[in-house]
């Protein structure tokens, strides 16, 4: 009669990353204890010493695959989880550290470490989806707390989570932010970047630099022509590096 | 020889573990293994435009992005001979206070206190101490709100640029924060009293402390570098005095100053700058601490609590005196030069040095995060502490809690490593 309602198990994992996306979860102060009450936090090493073995209902994965150990870990996560959610630019595109994909990682190792042979790193830094099936992706560097909460509420109540597929430009229009590209000729990645930040940068008077990655119908060639300037094109490879190869893979 | 390998340390930022080597009943050596994959930031910064450096380096650490954004901006501005206005400096100090408040509140209440009260985490602890943990979350939230108001968001703020801010906040926006910050100050004072009641284990290692010092304020974004042994360095001297050592068990380099391990962070800052705390924080410090340096790493939780009070008092003062800068962003005139910059991240000094080309692109970057500097000291303390518990069931826990005293940010430590020529040490 007094049966406890089933509480789904939640696991939070980290690959190569800055911890900012996990922190976004801890930053939901008002909702943190509520979320903690609705799920069983079964694995979240950054926040708790309690570790329960799998299987898990929902796994949130932060970070990109960057060495043999993280490649093995994503396989383990997939096999132990019902739902795998890649959170943030690192997990969904490779993230800022994927800049190394455009260089020679052996040269990087020896430019940073005196004994490069002690360091294990794969040549490319890749999104989770290059290795295993990912059920949902939350974009952003970092992810948006609002999207994360909406997402968790939806999956926990059995609804299908929805994310915008339109661009940051639409968010600017909704907020009534003056277009920086039109009014000042500033380079702005808004037209090709997926919404989710609420047009944060333009609202602070600077051009978008693409944290949320390419939107569904991103016309990168048109952006390049319009932006023209060297720095605008270079920005296609900065925090998110897959604007020109939206599948993220550079295998 | 027997080797004891423990699993991943929980409640720290990033991935590491402790390994002990025993010879009979003697502890031979201790390794803090860092297995988080390296991210090679310094390598891919080469060739990037100076204006992109704050956004790229912020991604080293989601908990202390401001430290990276401020240190690199200071370095690049020095290289280009740019002088930002005192108003811009105050605004930087203000958002930096937000980062201290948030980072300290997170570490104290969710990561560190559970060790002293025997809980697995802050959420479990909140079932027994709901008021205390909620109070900690309120303090953290106040720090986040401050970072959002000045920087746009709390993780990887977007408003900080080389030369200042993309846009200066309206005075009204900062004024609206005052009630939240006032309440957080009350909470933070109560937290100090509460944390001071903990019975701390007795442990007083001798180690040199290194922090920034400033003649008139508790250091955050400006000042010289100094050690508890009386050495004072300029940024240039500091860079040439620290030596990096690569060890096989770590993806992070270790650092030594004049051949010795040293400690950075709250204890170092406090020991070198205690007299320049803000009034309430200073008074609380006199109440809960005896005179003289605080050497017990377990008490870092109390120093963080006092620094949180300081950061709240300081932000209220900065908001009361806030005048928006006439020009929020000054224009850079790139030239070929080297510049260095340093600031006090919540975990200690975050030192950056850049060589820039005439077109404004990065030729060489060297970033020394606080946690890498502390690694050698953490291993020293671990060794003495673990020796006391070799036969105890609590050995692994005691090792982990010693590591957590330092609030290590392992993501930082593996993200920045020095560019070298050749392969020699
Ligand atoms: S996506 Fe950005 S915020 Fe998230 S972990 Fe990666 S670098 Fe950090």
Q: What is the pTM of this model?
A: 0.93
| Nearest neighbour of B166 by CB, restricted to A23, A120, A206 | A206
Domain membership of residue B271 (yes or no) is yes
* Contact call for B11 and A49, based on CB within 8 A: yes
| pLDDT at residue A230 tops 70 | no
Summarize the confidence of residues A135-139 as an average pLDDT: 96
Of residues A47, A96, A105, nearest to B56 (C-beta): A96
With a 6 A CB cut-off, is B155 part of the ligand 1 pocket? yes
Give the highest mean pLDDT range of A13-27, A145-159, B243-257, B325-339: B325-339
> Could you tell me the distance, in angstroms and rounded to a whole number, from the CA of residue B267 to the centre of ligand 1?
29
In a domain, B4, yes or no: no
Residue B298's pLDDT is 95
Write down the pLDDT at residue B424: 26
**A231: pLDDT strictly greater than 80:** no
d(CA B292, CA B267): 12
Q: What pLDDT shows up at residue A108?
A: 61
What DSSP designation does A130 have?
A: G
Distance from residue A137's CA to the centre of ligand 1 (Å):
13
Q: Do B44 and A108 touch (CB under 8 A)?
A: yes
CB-nearest partner of B63 from A19, A105, A238 = A19
Residue B402 located in a structural domain: yes
Q: For B111, which DSSP code?
A: I
Whole domain around residue B98: which residue ranges? 41-413
The pLDDT of residue A81: 97
List pLDDT tens digits, range A176-214: 999 988 888 888 999 999 999 999 999 999 999 999 999
Calpha distance B368→B98 (Å, rounded): 22
**Can you tell me the ipTM of this complex?**
0.91
The correct CATH number of A9-156 out of 1.20.840.10, 3.40.50.700, 2.40.30.40, 1.20.120.530 is: 3.40.50.700
At B106, list the tokens.
């997170």
Token pair for A212: 């949320």
**CA-closest candidate to residue B377, choices B184, B227, B192:** B227
Q: Tell me what pLDDT residue B87 has.
A: 97
- pLDDT range class, residue A135, cuts 50, 70, 90: very high
Burial of B400 per CB tally in 10 Å (0-12, 13-18, 19+): buried
Q: What is the pLDDT along chain B (425 residues), one digit of tens a residue?
A: 788 888 787 777 777 788 888 888 888 888 887 767 777 888 889 889 999 999 999 999 999 999 999 999 999 999 999 999 999 999 999 999 999 999 999 999 998 999 999 988 888 898 899 999 999 999 999 999 999 999 999 999 999 999 999 999 999 999 999 999 999 999 999 999 999 999 999 999 989 999 999 999 999 999 999 999 998 999 888 888 887 776 666 666 677 777 788 999 999 999 999 999 999 999 999 999 988 899 999 999 999 999 999 999 999 999 999 999 999 999 999 999 999 999 999 999 999 999 999 999 999 999 988 988 888 888 888 888 888 888 888 888 888 888 888 888 776 666 443 333 222 22
Pocket of ligand 1 contains residue A9 by CB under 6 Å: no
Q: What is the pLDDT of residue A120?
A: 59
**Shortest Cα distance from B248 to chain A (angstroms)?**
6
- Closest Cα in chain B, distance from residue A128 (Å): 15
Does B10 reside within a domain? no
Question: Is B337 among the domain residues?
Answer: yes
pLDDT, residue B417, reads: 38
pLDDT at A107: 64
B144/A26 CB distance under 8 A = no
Provide the token pair at A195. 């919404």
Return the CATH number at B332.
1.10.645.10
What would the DSSP string read from start to end of A176-240? TPPPHHHHH-----GGGBBS-S-SHHHHTTS----TT-B-TT--HHHHHHHH-SHHHHHGGGSS-
Q: Give how far B366 is from chain A: nearest CA, Å.
A: 10
Residue B20 lies inside a defined structural domain of this protein: no
- Say how many domains are in chain B: 1
Question: What's the gap in Å between B236 CA and the centre of ligand 1?
Answer: 32
Contact criterion met (CB < 8 Å) for B38 and A112: yes
pLDDT (0 to 100) of residue B356: 97
- Cβ distance of A204 and B159 shorter than 8 Å: yes
Output the pLDDT for position A58. Answer: 95
Q: For residue B249, what pLDDT is reported?
A: 62
Residue B346: name the closest of B71, B118, B119 by CA: B71
Q: Is A142 in the pocket of ligand 1 (CB under 6 A)?
A: yes
Residue B168 lies inside a defined structural domain of this protein: yes
Residues of each domain in chain A carrying CATH 3.40.50.700: 9-156
């Amino acid at each position: 009669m007094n049966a406890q309602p089933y509480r789904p198990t939640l696991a939070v994992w980290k690959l190569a990353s800055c911890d900012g996306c996990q922190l976004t979860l801890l930053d939901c102060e008002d909702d943190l204890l509520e979320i903690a009450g609705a799920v069983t936090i079964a694995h979240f090493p950054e926040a708790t010493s309690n570790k329960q073995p799998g299987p898990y209902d929902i796994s949130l994965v932060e970070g990109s695959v960057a060495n043999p150990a993280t490649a093995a870990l994503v396989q383990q996560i997939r096999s132990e989880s019902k739902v795998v959610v890649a959170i943030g630019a690192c997990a969904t595109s490779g993230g800022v550290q994927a800049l190394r994909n455009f260089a020679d990682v052996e040269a990087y190792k020896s430019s940073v470490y005196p004994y490069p042979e002690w360091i294990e790193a794969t040549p490319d830094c890749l999104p989770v989806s290059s290795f295993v099936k990912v059920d949902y992706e939350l974009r952003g560097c970092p992810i948006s707390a609002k999207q994360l909460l909406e997402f968790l509420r939806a999956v926990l109540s059995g609804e299908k989570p929805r994310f915008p597929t339109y661009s940051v430009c639409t968010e600017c229009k909704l907020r009534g932010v003056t277009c920086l590209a039109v009014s000042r000729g500033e380079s702005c990645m808004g037209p090709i970047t997926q919404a989710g930040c609420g047009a944060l940068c333009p609202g602070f008077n600077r051009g978008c630099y693409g944290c949320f990655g390419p939107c569904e119908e991103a016309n990168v060639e048109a952006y390049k022509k319009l932006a023209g300037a060297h720095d605008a094109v270079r920005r296609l490879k900065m925090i998110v590096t897959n604007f020109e190869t939206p599948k993220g893979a550079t295998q | 020889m027997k080797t004891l390998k423990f699993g991943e340390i929980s409640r720290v930022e990033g991935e590491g573990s402790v390994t002990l080597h025993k010879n009979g009943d003697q502890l031979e050596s201790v390794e803090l293994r860092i297995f988080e994959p390296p991210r090679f930031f310094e390598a891919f910064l080469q060739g990037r435009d100076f204006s992109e450096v704050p956004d790229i380096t912020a991604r080293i650490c989601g908990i202390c992005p401001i430290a990276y954004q401020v240190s690199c901006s200071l370095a690049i501005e020095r290289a280009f001979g740019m002088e930002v206005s005192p108003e811009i400096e105050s605004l930087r100090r203000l958002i930096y206070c937000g980062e201290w408040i948030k980072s300290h509140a997170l570490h104290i209440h969710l990561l560190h206190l559970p060790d002293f009260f025997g809980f697995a985490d802050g959420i479990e602890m909140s079932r027994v101490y709901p008021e205390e943990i909620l109070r900690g979350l309120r303090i953290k939230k106040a720090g986040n709100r401050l970072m959002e108001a000045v920087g746009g968001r709390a993780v990887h703020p977007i408003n900080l640029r080389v030369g200042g801010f993309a846009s200066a906040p309206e005075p009204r926006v900062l004024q609206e924060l005052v009630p939240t910050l006032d309440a957080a100050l009350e909470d933070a004072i109560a937290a100090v009293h509460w944390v001071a009641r903990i019975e701390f284990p007795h442990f007083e290692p001798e180690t040199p402390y290194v922090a920034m010092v400033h003649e008139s304020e508790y250091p955050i974004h400006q000042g010289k570098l100094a050690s508890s042994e009386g050495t004072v360095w300029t940024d240039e001297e500091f860079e040439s005095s620290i030596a990096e050592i690569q060890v096989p068990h770590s993806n992070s380099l270790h650092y030594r100053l004049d051949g010795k391990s040293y400690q950075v962070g709250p204890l170092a800052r406090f020991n070198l700058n205690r007299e320049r705390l803000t009034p309430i924080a200073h008074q609380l410090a006199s109440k809960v601490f005896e005179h003289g340096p605080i050497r017990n790493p377990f008490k870092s939780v109390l120093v963080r609590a006092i620094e949180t009070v300081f950061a709240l008092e300081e932000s209220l003062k900065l908001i009361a005196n806030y005048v928006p800068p006439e020009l929020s962003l000054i224009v850079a005139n790139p030239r070929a030069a080297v510049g260095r910059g340093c600031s006090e991240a919540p975990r200690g000094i975050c030192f950056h040095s850049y060589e820039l080309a005439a077109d404004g692109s990065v030729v060489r970057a060297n970033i020394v995060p606080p946690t890498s500097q502390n690694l050698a000291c953490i291993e020293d303390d671990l060794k003495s502490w673990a020796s006391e518990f070799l036969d105890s069931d609590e050995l692994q826990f005691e090792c982990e809690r010693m590591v957590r005293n330092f609030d290590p940010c392992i993501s930082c430590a593996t993200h920045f490593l020095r560019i070298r020529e050749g392969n020699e040490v």
